[in-house]
Amino acid sequence: MFRRVRFSLSFLGDSQDIDGGGGCGLEPLPDPSKFAPREGENEKLAARRRNADVQAEYNAVTCVAIYMLVMQFSQKGIDELRKYQEHMEMRHPEGDFVLSDGFDEGALVVHCILVTCSESEAF
């Protein structure tokens, strides 16, 4: 739940956007329950800013919930594949069974997607 922050690198002479990862240049979302209008701020503008803060928090929670559901779905798929593989190994202990064409490629794609998601989640 971080917000994009613009910061300046004085030795480079320009500004850059930081957009997540490692806490560099990021600040946490403000707590909507502790909202206070700024000094001299128009009431309508303050209400708009408060609504934006609430919406940002809601969007962050929604993103986390969707991520958790996708990962849960992916894990169930991996578990089913593991059960099937164990079942086939029990039926064919010599390992002479053949999976459908493209199974290995599909498993590799799913593995790459899960690794990418896990790396993104680590941020």
Confirm whether pTM is higher than 0.75.
no
d(C-alpha 94, C-alpha 119), whole Å: 37
Per-residue pLDDT at 3? 46
d(C-alpha 105, C-alpha 101), whole Å: 9
Q: What is the pLDDT of residues 79-109, one digit of tens each?
A: 898 898 888 888 888 877 776 777 778 888 8
Here the tokens at position 93 are 């202990």
